[in-house]
Amino acid sequence: MTYTLRWPDASQTTCYSPSLVIQDYFAPGSSYPLPEFIDKLREATGIANERVRAKFGFACSRASDQLGAIEAEVRRFSATPEARVDVLSFGPA
């Protein structure tokens, strides 16, 4: 599935998750402080990777790469304590 994020500078990113578990952690239209967002995303990505591993015998490298890209975006805004990320929507992959 995909999900769309809006960053503090109003830029948007469409991201990928191999599992619907992401919907258990985030709600469309919600805004999250960066530390809370990245903690929740790491946990959700870990669960998604374990689901892929259980089904196919290996983790999803695309999900791991996506997490790395999102972590880089979070670092870009880490000097702004009140920075938040908005989860705009979920969609099909």
DSSP H or E stretch at residue 89: strand 84-91
Question: What three-state secondary structure class fits 90?
Answer: strand
CA–CA separation, 43 and 65 (whole Å): 15
- pLDDT, residue 77, reads 96
Question: What three-state secondary structure class fits 52?
Answer: helix
Q: Domain limits of the chain?
A: 2-91
- pLDDT, residue 46, reads 94
Query: pLDDT tens, 3-23?
Result: 999 999 999 999 999 999 999
Mean pLDDT of 31-57: 95
- pLDDT, residue 81, reads 87
- pLDDT, residue 60, reads 87
Q: Give me the residues paired with residue 13 across strands.
A: 5
Tokens coding 59: 């983790």
Query: pLDDT tens, 50-82?
Result: 999 999 999 888 999 999 999 999 999 999 989
Tell me, yes or no, if the pTM score tops 0.75. Answer: yes
Cα 92-40-47 angle, rounded to 5 deg: 65
CA–CA separation, 76 and 31 (whole Å): 17
- pLDDT, residue 30, reads 97
